[in-house]
Structure 1
């Protein structure tokens, strides 16, 4: 299934102390689905360790 890319806006992410992009909760909600990658600000409640939603 094709999932279109969501254009990034200024407040969709920040750079952490190591220089990696960290997506915000706002971005995840705008994207509209959970990618099951264990994202730090996942608003969908996914837990990568248990592979389940809280």
Structure 2
């Protein structure tokens, strides 16, 4: 089971479309990559390279 990380100021911003976008600060605090292709992923995950053969 993964730990719940409390959201604090600076952990996300609202995009012009109205979505919550987590910042690098939040991802580092969370401590792992979720492999969802997050915009500010500090772990270097690239979703486009995942399905290439």
Q: What's the TM-score, normalizing by structure 1?
A: 0.89
RMSD: 0.5
Could you tell me which runs of 5 or more consecutive residues in structure 1 were left unpaired when the two chains were aligned: none
5 Å matches for 1:8-27?
A: 8-27=7-26
Structure 2 segments unaligned to the other structure (5+ residues): none
In structure 2, C-alpha distance between the alignment counterparts of 1:8 and 1:29, rounded to whole Å: 12
Runs of 4+ in 1 over 4 A off after TM superposition: none
Question: TM-score if structure 2 supplies the norm length?
Answer: 0.91
Q: Aligned residue pairs: how many?
A: 50
